[in-house]
Structure 1
Amino acid sequence: MKFAAPFFSLAFLLLATSAQAQLYKSTGPDGKVTYSDTPPATGNVVQKKTGSIGGDTDPLPYELAQAVKNSPVTLYSSDKCIPCDDGRKLLTGRGIPFTEKTIKSNEDIAALRRITSEDQLPVLIVGRDKQNGFDSSSWNTTLTSAGYPQSNRLPKGYRNAAPVAAAPSAKPAEKAAGTAAETVSTDAPPAAGNAPPGFRF
Protein backbone atom coordinates (compact mmCIF):
# COMPACT_ATOMS: atom_id res chain seq x y z
CA MET A 1 0.00 0.00 0.00
CA LYS A 2 2.84 2.39 0.64
CA PHE A 3 3.68 2.38 -3.12
CA ALA A 4 0.20 3.54 -4.13
CA ALA A 5 0.86 7.25 -3.64
CA PRO A 6 4.06 7.42 -5.77
CA PHE A 7 2.42 5.28 -8.48
CA PHE A 8 -0.63 7.55 -8.51
CA SER A 9 1.61 10.64 -8.81
CA LEU A 10 3.50 9.10 -11.74
CA ALA A 11 0.28 8.14 -13.53
CA PHE A 12 -1.12 11.63 -12.98
CA LEU A 13 2.07 13.17 -14.38
CA LEU A 14 1.92 10.98 -17.51
CA LEU A 15 -1.73 11.89 -18.08
CA ALA A 16 -0.96 15.59 -17.67
CA THR A 17 1.91 15.34 -20.16
CA SER A 18 -0.19 13.56 -22.77
CA ALA A 19 -2.99 16.07 -22.33
CA GLN A 20 -0.58 18.88 -23.19
CA ALA A 21 0.57 17.25 -26.42
CA GLN A 22 -2.13 19.06 -28.39
CA LEU A 23 -2.25 22.85 -28.18
CA TYR A 24 -4.55 25.42 -29.76
CA LYS A 25 -3.57 28.98 -30.61
CA SER A 26 -6.43 31.49 -30.72
CA THR A 27 -6.76 35.24 -31.13
CA GLY A 28 -9.46 36.99 -29.10
CA PRO A 29 -11.51 40.04 -30.19
CA ASP A 30 -9.00 42.28 -28.40
CA GLY A 31 -6.11 40.76 -30.39
CA LYS A 32 -4.75 38.82 -27.42
CA VAL A 33 -3.13 35.49 -28.38
CA THR A 34 -3.91 32.52 -26.13
CA TYR A 35 -2.53 28.96 -26.09
CA SER A 36 -4.72 26.22 -24.62
CA ASP A 37 -5.05 22.43 -24.66
CA THR A 38 -8.79 22.77 -25.44
CA PRO A 39 -10.38 24.52 -28.43
CA PRO A 40 -11.55 28.02 -27.48
CA ALA A 41 -15.29 28.67 -27.22
CA THR A 42 -14.92 32.15 -28.73
CA GLY A 43 -12.33 34.02 -30.75
CA ASN A 44 -10.54 33.24 -33.97
CA VAL A 45 -8.66 29.91 -33.99
CA VAL A 46 -5.48 30.64 -35.92
CA GLN A 47 -3.86 27.21 -35.89
CA LYS A 48 -3.72 23.89 -34.12
CA LYS A 49 -0.32 22.70 -32.94
CA THR A 50 0.59 19.16 -32.10
CA GLY A 51 3.60 17.70 -30.39
CA SER A 52 5.93 20.69 -30.13
CA ILE A 53 5.12 24.07 -28.67
CA GLY A 54 7.92 25.68 -30.67
CA GLY A 55 6.70 24.94 -34.22
CA ASP A 56 3.65 24.72 -36.41
CA THR A 57 4.36 21.11 -37.46
CA ASP A 58 5.78 18.06 -35.78
CA PRO A 59 9.57 18.22 -35.41
CA LEU A 60 11.78 16.45 -37.94
CA PRO A 61 12.96 12.93 -37.04
CA TYR A 62 16.40 13.02 -35.35
CA GLU A 63 18.38 11.54 -38.28
CA LEU A 64 16.83 13.99 -40.75
CA ALA A 65 17.23 16.97 -38.40
CA GLN A 66 20.93 16.17 -37.97
CA ALA A 67 21.44 15.95 -41.75
CA VAL A 68 19.68 19.30 -42.25
CA LYS A 69 21.82 20.89 -39.53
CA ASN A 70 25.15 19.50 -40.77
CA SER A 71 24.57 19.56 -44.55
CA PRO A 72 21.76 21.93 -45.60
CA VAL A 73 20.47 21.43 -49.13
CA THR A 74 20.09 24.26 -51.66
CA LEU A 75 18.77 23.88 -55.21
CA TYR A 76 19.57 26.52 -57.85
CA SER A 77 17.05 26.34 -60.66
CA SER A 78 15.41 28.26 -63.49
CA ASP A 79 11.97 28.48 -65.08
CA LYS A 80 11.05 26.06 -67.86
CA CYS A 81 14.04 23.85 -67.04
CA ILE A 82 13.16 20.15 -67.30
CA PRO A 83 16.30 18.95 -65.45
CA CYS A 84 15.49 21.45 -62.67
CA ASP A 85 11.97 19.99 -62.44
CA ASP A 86 13.43 16.47 -62.29
CA GLY A 87 15.82 17.50 -59.51
CA ARG A 88 13.01 19.14 -57.53
CA LYS A 89 10.87 15.99 -57.89
CA LEU A 90 13.74 13.82 -56.63
CA LEU A 91 14.26 16.01 -53.54
CA THR A 92 10.53 16.24 -52.81
CA GLY A 93 9.93 12.51 -53.37
CA ARG A 94 12.81 11.53 -51.10
CA GLY A 95 11.60 13.93 -48.41
CA ILE A 96 14.58 16.27 -48.41
CA PRO A 97 14.03 19.69 -46.77
CA PHE A 98 15.66 22.18 -49.15
CA THR A 99 15.91 25.84 -50.06
CA GLU A 100 15.33 26.73 -53.71
CA LYS A 101 16.99 29.75 -55.32
CA THR A 102 15.97 30.79 -58.82
CA ILE A 103 18.16 32.20 -61.57
CA LYS A 104 16.31 34.85 -63.58
CA SER A 105 18.36 38.05 -63.64
CA ASN A 106 21.98 39.06 -64.23
CA GLU A 107 22.28 39.59 -60.46
CA ASP A 108 21.13 35.98 -59.90
CA ILE A 109 23.71 34.73 -62.41
CA ALA A 110 26.45 36.72 -60.67
CA ALA A 111 25.39 35.27 -57.30
CA LEU A 112 25.53 31.73 -58.69
CA ARG A 113 28.94 32.30 -60.29
CA ARG A 114 30.32 33.26 -56.90
CA ILE A 115 29.42 29.72 -55.81
CA THR A 116 30.29 27.69 -58.91
CA SER A 117 32.09 28.39 -62.18
CA GLU A 118 29.94 25.87 -64.05
CA ASP A 119 27.28 27.14 -66.47
CA GLN A 120 24.86 24.24 -66.15
CA LEU A 121 21.56 24.17 -64.24
CA PRO A 122 20.33 22.84 -61.92
CA VAL A 123 23.01 23.12 -59.23
CA LEU A 124 22.58 21.11 -56.04
CA ILE A 125 24.54 22.07 -52.94
CA VAL A 126 24.57 19.62 -50.02
CA GLY A 127 26.71 21.06 -47.25
CA ARG A 128 30.03 21.71 -49.03
CA ASP A 129 29.38 19.32 -51.92
CA LYS A 130 28.25 20.76 -55.28
CA GLN A 131 26.53 18.85 -58.09
CA ASN A 132 26.21 20.61 -61.45
CA GLY A 133 23.44 19.36 -63.73
CA PHE A 134 20.90 16.72 -62.80
CA ASP A 135 22.00 13.12 -62.36
CA SER A 136 19.73 11.11 -60.07
CA SER A 137 22.43 8.59 -59.18
CA SER A 138 25.04 11.15 -58.11
CA TRP A 139 22.44 13.30 -56.34
CA ASN A 140 21.18 10.30 -54.33
CA THR A 141 24.74 9.27 -53.48
CA THR A 142 25.56 12.78 -52.27
CA LEU A 143 22.41 12.97 -50.15
CA THR A 144 23.03 9.54 -48.62
CA SER A 145 26.67 10.44 -47.84
CA ALA A 146 25.41 13.56 -46.05
CA GLY A 147 23.22 11.40 -43.79
CA TYR A 148 19.81 11.95 -45.39
CA PRO A 149 17.43 8.98 -45.07
CA GLN A 150 16.78 6.87 -48.19
CA SER A 151 13.01 7.28 -47.88
CA ASN A 152 10.67 10.14 -47.06
CA ARG A 153 10.44 10.69 -43.29
CA LEU A 154 9.05 14.21 -43.29
CA PRO A 155 6.13 14.89 -40.93
CA LYS A 156 2.75 14.91 -42.62
CA GLY A 157 1.93 18.37 -43.92
CA TYR A 158 5.58 19.54 -44.11
CA ARG A 159 6.16 22.13 -46.86
CA ASN A 160 9.44 23.63 -48.08
CA ALA A 161 9.63 27.42 -48.25
CA ALA A 162 8.71 29.10 -51.54
CA PRO A 163 11.59 29.62 -54.01
CA VAL A 164 13.47 32.92 -53.76
CA ALA A 165 15.80 34.78 -56.12
CA ALA A 166 19.46 33.77 -55.87
CA ALA A 167 20.39 37.44 -55.43
CA PRO A 168 18.24 39.54 -53.12
CA SER A 169 16.92 42.61 -54.89
CA ALA A 170 19.05 45.70 -54.34
CA LYS A 171 17.67 48.74 -52.55
CA PRO A 172 16.58 51.61 -54.86
CA ALA A 173 19.52 53.79 -53.72
CA GLU A 174 21.97 51.00 -54.55
CA LYS A 175 20.39 50.47 -57.96
CA ALA A 176 20.72 54.17 -58.73
CA ALA A 177 24.37 54.19 -57.68
CA GLY A 178 25.12 51.12 -59.82
CA THR A 179 27.96 49.10 -58.32
CA ALA A 180 30.51 47.83 -60.81
CA ALA A 181 31.19 44.72 -58.71
CA GLU A 182 27.76 43.28 -59.49
CA THR A 183 27.88 43.71 -63.26
CA VAL A 184 28.07 40.52 -65.31
CA SER A 185 30.55 40.11 -68.13
CA THR A 186 29.06 40.62 -71.57
CA ASP A 187 31.24 37.77 -72.88
CA ALA A 188 28.58 35.24 -71.81
CA PRO A 189 27.34 33.07 -74.68
CA PRO A 190 23.82 33.78 -75.94
CA ALA A 191 20.96 31.97 -74.24
CA ALA A 192 19.95 28.62 -75.72
CA GLY A 193 16.25 27.82 -75.60
CA ASN A 194 14.75 28.96 -72.28
CA ALA A 195 18.09 29.14 -70.42
CA PRO A 196 19.19 32.39 -68.78
CA PRO A 197 22.05 34.08 -70.72
CA GLY A 198 25.28 32.10 -70.32
CA PHE A 199 23.64 28.90 -69.00
CA ARG A 200 22.71 25.58 -70.53
CA PHE A 201 20.53 22.71 -69.31
Structure 2
Amino acid sequence: MRYLLTLCIALAAAGVQAETYRWTDSGGRTVISDTPPAGKATGVVKLGGKPEASDGLSFATKRAMELFPVTLYTSADCVAECKNARDLLSGRGTPFTEKMLQKPEDFEELKQLVGDVFIPSIKVGKQNFRGFEAGAYNNLLDLAGYPKSTAKTVSGESK
Protein backbone atom coordinates (compact mmCIF):
# COMPACT_ATOMS: atom_id res chain seq x y z
CA MET A 1 0.00 0.00 0.00
CA ARG A 2 2.82 2.41 0.88
CA TYR A 3 4.55 1.55 -2.38
CA LEU A 4 1.39 2.39 -4.34
CA LEU A 5 0.94 5.70 -2.50
CA THR A 6 4.59 6.62 -3.08
CA LEU A 7 4.27 5.74 -6.76
CA CYS A 8 1.13 7.91 -7.14
CA ILE A 9 2.83 10.88 -5.48
CA ALA A 10 5.93 10.47 -7.66
CA LEU A 11 3.84 10.30 -10.84
CA ALA A 12 1.82 13.35 -9.83
CA ALA A 13 4.97 15.32 -9.08
CA ALA A 14 6.52 14.32 -12.41
CA GLY A 15 3.50 15.72 -14.26
CA VAL A 16 3.90 19.16 -12.70
CA GLN A 17 5.95 21.56 -14.80
CA ALA A 18 7.08 24.81 -13.26
CA GLU A 19 6.58 27.99 -15.25
CA THR A 20 9.31 30.58 -15.02
CA TYR A 21 9.64 34.03 -16.49
CA ARG A 22 12.74 35.96 -17.56
CA TRP A 23 12.71 39.72 -18.06
CA THR A 24 14.74 42.89 -17.73
CA ASP A 25 13.55 45.26 -15.01
CA SER A 26 13.59 49.07 -15.16
CA GLY A 27 17.09 49.06 -13.61
CA GLY A 28 18.46 46.92 -16.45
CA ARG A 29 18.82 43.77 -14.32
CA THR A 30 17.79 40.36 -15.69
CA VAL A 31 15.25 38.69 -13.41
CA ILE A 32 14.14 35.04 -13.43
CA SER A 33 11.07 34.26 -11.34
CA ASP A 34 8.11 31.90 -11.09
CA THR A 35 5.71 34.85 -11.14
CA PRO A 36 5.14 37.18 -14.09
CA PRO A 37 6.62 40.68 -13.85
CA ALA A 38 4.64 43.64 -12.59
CA GLY A 39 5.14 47.16 -13.84
CA LYS A 40 7.61 48.14 -16.52
CA ALA A 41 9.54 45.11 -17.68
CA THR A 42 11.06 44.52 -21.09
CA GLY A 43 11.89 41.33 -22.96
CA VAL A 44 9.50 39.12 -20.99
CA VAL A 45 10.03 35.46 -21.95
CA LYS A 46 8.02 32.58 -20.52
CA LEU A 47 10.21 29.52 -19.94
CA GLY A 48 9.13 25.95 -19.24
CA GLY A 49 5.63 24.95 -18.33
CA LYS A 50 2.98 23.86 -20.77
CA PRO A 51 2.83 25.53 -24.18
CA GLU A 52 0.14 28.14 -24.48
CA ALA A 53 -2.43 27.21 -27.11
CA SER A 54 -3.28 30.86 -27.76
CA ASP A 55 -0.06 31.69 -29.60
CA GLY A 56 -0.40 28.86 -32.13
CA LEU A 57 3.28 27.87 -31.95
CA SER A 58 4.33 24.24 -31.80
CA PHE A 59 6.38 22.90 -28.93
CA ALA A 60 9.36 22.45 -31.30
CA THR A 61 9.15 26.09 -32.36
CA LYS A 62 8.93 27.33 -28.79
CA ARG A 63 11.88 25.18 -27.76
CA ALA A 64 13.99 26.40 -30.69
CA MET A 65 13.03 30.01 -29.85
CA GLU A 66 14.30 29.57 -26.29
CA LEU A 67 17.59 27.97 -27.30
CA PHE A 68 18.27 29.62 -30.68
CA PRO A 69 16.54 32.99 -31.12
CA VAL A 70 16.54 34.35 -34.68
CA THR A 71 17.54 37.92 -35.56
CA LEU A 72 17.40 39.26 -39.11
CA TYR A 73 19.55 42.33 -39.79
CA THR A 74 18.15 44.63 -42.50
CA SER A 75 18.34 48.22 -43.67
CA ALA A 76 15.95 50.66 -45.32
CA ASP A 77 17.69 50.39 -48.71
CA CYS A 78 17.62 46.57 -48.76
CA VAL A 79 14.48 45.64 -50.68
CA ALA A 80 14.48 42.39 -52.67
CA GLU A 81 16.93 40.26 -50.65
CA CYS A 82 15.51 41.41 -47.30
CA LYS A 83 11.99 40.63 -48.51
CA ASN A 84 13.15 37.16 -49.59
CA ALA A 85 14.72 36.59 -46.17
CA ARG A 86 11.55 37.73 -44.37
CA ASP A 87 9.38 35.59 -46.64
CA LEU A 88 11.51 32.49 -45.99
CA LEU A 89 11.32 32.95 -42.22
CA SER A 90 7.59 33.69 -42.31
CA GLY A 91 6.93 30.79 -44.67
CA ARG A 92 8.54 28.39 -42.21
CA GLY A 93 6.59 29.95 -39.35
CA THR A 94 9.85 30.97 -37.68
CA PRO A 95 9.42 33.76 -35.12
CA PHE A 96 12.20 36.30 -35.58
CA THR A 97 13.31 39.76 -34.54
CA GLU A 98 14.12 42.14 -37.35
CA LYS A 99 16.80 44.67 -36.52
CA MET A 100 16.86 47.52 -38.99
CA LEU A 101 20.28 49.16 -38.94
CA GLN A 102 19.93 52.91 -38.38
CA LYS A 103 22.48 54.05 -35.80
CA PRO A 104 26.29 53.73 -35.89
CA GLU A 105 26.17 51.27 -32.97
CA ASP A 106 23.79 49.03 -34.98
CA PHE A 107 26.32 48.89 -37.82
CA GLU A 108 29.12 48.17 -35.35
CA GLU A 109 27.09 45.30 -33.82
CA LEU A 110 26.66 43.71 -37.24
CA LYS A 111 30.33 44.26 -38.07
CA GLN A 112 31.28 42.40 -34.87
CA LEU A 113 28.87 39.60 -35.77
CA VAL A 114 29.77 38.88 -39.41
CA GLY A 115 33.01 40.78 -39.98
CA ASP A 116 31.57 43.69 -41.97
CA VAL A 117 28.30 45.43 -42.71
CA PHE A 118 26.49 43.03 -45.01
CA ILE A 119 22.72 43.21 -45.43
CA PRO A 120 20.73 41.06 -44.96
CA SER A 121 22.42 38.95 -42.31
CA ILE A 122 20.87 36.42 -39.98
CA LYS A 123 21.78 35.20 -36.52
CA VAL A 124 20.33 31.91 -35.26
CA GLY A 125 21.47 31.32 -31.69
CA LYS A 126 25.24 31.83 -31.90
CA GLN A 127 25.50 30.99 -35.61
CA ASN A 128 25.25 33.60 -38.33
CA PHE A 129 25.24 34.01 -42.09
CA ARG A 130 25.80 37.13 -44.17
CA GLY A 131 23.71 37.77 -47.24
CA PHE A 132 20.67 35.82 -48.31
CA GLU A 133 20.87 32.25 -49.52
CA ALA A 134 17.78 30.14 -48.94
CA GLY A 135 19.77 26.93 -48.51
CA ALA A 136 22.02 28.45 -45.85
CA TYR A 137 19.09 29.99 -43.96
CA ASN A 138 17.18 26.68 -44.05
CA ASN A 139 20.27 24.80 -42.87
CA LEU A 140 20.72 27.10 -39.85
CA LEU A 141 17.03 26.82 -38.97
CA ASP A 142 17.05 23.02 -39.39
CA LEU A 143 20.09 22.67 -37.14
CA ALA A 144 18.39 24.86 -34.50
CA GLY A 145 15.32 22.60 -34.54
CA TYR A 146 12.83 24.93 -36.18
CA PRO A 147 10.10 23.04 -38.08
CA LYS A 148 10.49 23.06 -41.87
CA SER A 149 7.00 24.50 -42.34
CA THR A 150 4.01 25.62 -40.38
CA ALA A 151 1.30 23.04 -39.82
CA LYS A 152 -1.82 24.62 -41.22
CA THR A 153 -5.19 23.00 -40.88
CA VAL A 154 -7.77 23.13 -43.64
CA SER A 155 -11.14 21.43 -43.02
CA GLY A 156 -9.62 19.36 -40.23
CA GLU A 157 -6.78 18.04 -42.42
CA SER A 158 -3.16 18.82 -41.75
CA LYS A 159 -1.49 20.35 -44.75
Matched, 1:74 2:66: no
Greater gyration radius: 1
Provide the aligned C-alpha RMSD in A.
2.3
2:54 equivalent among 39, 54, 57: 57
**Among residues 88, 91, 94, which one is paired with 2:89 in the alignment?**
91
Aligned-pair distance for 1:104? 1.9
Give distance in 2, aligned partners of 1:148 and 1:129.
Answer: 14
Task: For 2:73 and 2:151, locate their aligned partners in 1 and report how far apart those are by CA, in whole Å.
Answer: 23
Structure 2 residue runs of 5 or longer lacking an equivalent are: 1-50, 154-159
Counterpart of 2:107 in structure 1 is: 109
Q: TM-score scaled by structure 2?
A: 0.57
State how far apart, in whole Å, the 2-side matches of 1:57 and 1:131 are: 32
Q: Which residue matches 1:120?
A: 118
How far residue 61 of structure 1 moved from its aligned partner, in angstroms, is 1.4
Alignment match, 1:134: 132
Partner amino acid, structure 2, of 1:73: V
Deviation at 1:55, TM superposition (A): 6.7
Structure with the largest fraction of helix: 2
Instruction: Structure 1: give runs of 5+ residues left out of the alignment.
Output: 1-53, 156-201
Between Structure 1 and Structure 2, the one with more strand by share is: 2
- Say whether the 8 Å CA contact 2:114–2:129 is kept in structure 1: no
Partner of 1:144: 142
Q: Identity, % of aligned pairs? A: 36
Aligned length: 102
